[in-house]
Amino acid sequence: MNAIVSVTANWGIGHQSKLLVRNRDDMRFFREKTMSGTVVCGRTTFQSFPGGPLKGRRNVVLTQNLDYSPNGVEVVHNLDELHAAIAHDDPDKVWIIGGEKVYRQLIDECDRAYVTVHETLRDADAFFPNLDEDSNWTIEETSPASITDEGIPYRFVTYARA
Fold of 12-161: Dihydrofolate Reductase, subunit A (3.40.430)
pLDDT band for position 53 (cuts 50, 70, 90): very high
For 13-49, the pLDDT digits (tens) are 999 999 999 999 999 999 999 999 999 999 999 999 9
> Average pLDDT of the chain?
97
Query: What is the pLDDT at residue 77?
Result: 98
Tell me the domain boundaries of the chain.
12-161
Cβ burial of 108 (10 Å; 0-12, 13-18, 19+) is exposed
Residues listed for the chain: 162
Task: Work out the average pLDDT over 66-89.
Answer: 97
Q: Taking a C-beta distance cutoff of 8 angstroms, is the pair 28, 121 a contact?
A: no
Among 160, 162, 159, residue whose Cα is nearest residue 115: 159
- The pLDDT of residue 135 is 97
Nearest in space to 62 (alpha carbons), one of 22, 33, 102, 94? 102
State the number of CA atoms in the 13 A half-sphere of 96 facing the CB.
27
Distance CA 48, CA 16 (A): 10
**At 111, is the secondary structure helix, strand, or coil?**
coil
